[in-house]
Amino acid sequence: MLKDLLRVTFRNLRRDKGNTFLNIGGLAIGLAACAIIALFVRDELSYDNFHPAAERINALNSPGS
């Protein structure tokens, strides 16, 4: 059954190449964006964690930046 399902899936992917490209391309861009956002959030949350008194550090942001 799985073999037949895969055969039909690949047949439909070959038949409709434009739609396949859009779907796979959109999935790839979405996964890449998700990974970049996750890396950015992890980097921001790990700011100055190496310091012994990291919980006492406050970051000051200037209004111009």
In a domain, residue 11? The reply is yes
pTM for the whole structure: 0.63
Rounded CA gap, 38 and 32, in Å? 10
In a domain, residue 57? The reply is no
In a domain, residue 16? The reply is yes
What is the pLDDT, as a whole number, of residue 62?
64
**Domain extent at residue 27:** 2-46
> In a structure prediction context, what are the per-residue pLDDT tens digits for the chain, which is 65 residues long?
999 999 998 898 899 999 989 999 999 999 999 999 999 999 888 877 777 877 787 777 766 55
Domain count, the chain: 1
